[in-house]
Structures are given as structure tokens and as C-alpha cells.
Copies of this chain bind each other. A is one copy, B any other.
Amino acid sequence: MTGWVQVAGLGPGDDALVTAQVHAALDQATDIIGYIPYVARVTARPGLVLHPSDNRVELDRAHHALDLAGQGRRVVIVSSGDPGVFAMASALFEALETHSGPHPDIQILPGITAMLAASAKVGAPLGHDFCAINLSDNLKPFALIEKRLRHAAQGDFAMGFYNPRSKSRPEGFARVLQILREECAPERIIIFARSVSTPQETIRVVPLADATPEMADMRTVVLVGNSQTRRVGDWVYTPRFAAAP
């Protein structure tokens, strides 16, 4: 039997946001690898081995998947959202660089990433040019986060922030808001979208002047409009037209 590894995006939470391609991969798998809450989203069945693991062991998980595939197993690594956006796909290729033996068949299966699910819920705040920035400084220095934030703001991009705040990094997001206040007007629209598409979903839209660090946590994706982003009724959107800089 020829083994393989597929990295599948489960979307933000609602099963209705999972693609048929991902369902097919889960149906064919012999092994599911991933962070505990994502593996918990996969329906158990006879012959399917679940390998839930804790946060921050991405490389271990990737090596485990490659080893199992080398033994002929059909392995799906599950990510929330899209596996290529601050998720397991990069970790798998990182592991592949030091993996001994032939490379198994690999496929990355895209999913609905949190930023775009959140955008859809409130309207179209990312309807013009935008940036996605991971605010966690586990894997990069805060100086790089700050540099990218300032370029994104000065380029008048809308923005989507992943991992804005965690218990181990309570102060970083306060600095992010401070940088935004230096670069953007106080009425700039900020969206805090928590647990999008799950029963726990909460969405809050505030002007930058009213945004506070505790509006975000690990389950929140934060969207920042560009200078033209506005409201119509209960919706938030960014117009398609833009004037000269």
C-alpha cells in the first residue's frame, strides 16, 4: 500500500464550511493527526486512528505524519481554517527538509480561513487590497510585527490579524493597538470576530478609538478596515474604488 499525507483545512468551525474534497480525504484516511480540538472535529470510525496532540508541537506532528506515510498509512493532518495560513502546511514542508528516505505523496487541501469567514459575517471589510499578519511572536520578533504593521497601515491595506493575544503574551496586542493609533485615524473600523461560525460566535465592530486589548483572545481574528471602509446598515464593507494615494 502506498502511503500519503494530506493536510486538510477544516474551516473555522461550522461543518457546512468544509469542502467535499476535505470530507473525501477524511473518509480515505487511516490516521488523523492534529491539535486536540481539531482532531475532535473528525468523526471516529473503525479502522481510523486518531492522534491528537497539544499545541506547539507542529514539527513533531509533521515528522510523525511522514513516518506513518512511509509505513504505507494514509495520513490526514487536520488544521483549522486553511492549512496554508499560519497552520500546519509550512511545518510539514519544514519537516520534509530533514526527512530521510523518499518523499511520500503529499497534498494540501485548502479550507475557509478564519479571516475570510469573519469578513463574510460582517459584510466585505477585506473587499479591497489586504494583508494577513500573525501577531504571535513565538516564531518571530515583535520588531518584525511592528515593521509589517506600519507598512500595511502606510500602504492603506485592510488587515486580518491571527493569534492577536494569548495568556503568555498579554501585552503584545496593546502595542499593536498603539501602533495602529499612531498610523490610522481614530474612526478606523476594527472588527473582533471570536469563534466565527461556531455556537460561541461573537462579533464586535468598534472604531479604533474604542478598541481595547481585552476585546481579543486566542480565539479571535481581528479585522482592520482600510481608510475607506464604512458601514451600510448593520454591514461593514470596503468600496472597490480607490483614489490616488
Interface residues of A (CB under 8 A from B): 11, 14-21, 24, 58, 82-86, 89-94, 96-97, 103, 106, 108-113, 116-117, 119-121, 123-134, 139-141, 143-144, 147-148, 150-152, 154-157, 232-233, 235, 237-245
Contacts and interface: CB of A to CB of B under 8 A. Distances in A.
Given A15-B20, A19-B18, A124 B239 contact: no
A240 B94 contact: yes
Q: Taking chain A's interface residues, is the majority helix, strand, or loop, or is none over half, making it mixed?
A: mixed
Q: Which 5 residue pairs across A and B have the least CB separation, nearest first?
A: A90-B127, A151-B155, A89-B124, A93-B237, A108-B120
Given A85-B126, A151-B155, 18 more contacts: A16-B19, A19-B19, A19-B112, A20-B20, A83-B124, A84-B124, A86-B240, A89-B124, A96-B235, A103-B233, A108-B119, A129-B133, A131-B132, A139-B240, A140-B241, A147-B155, A151-B157, A152-B157
Contacts of A141: 242-245
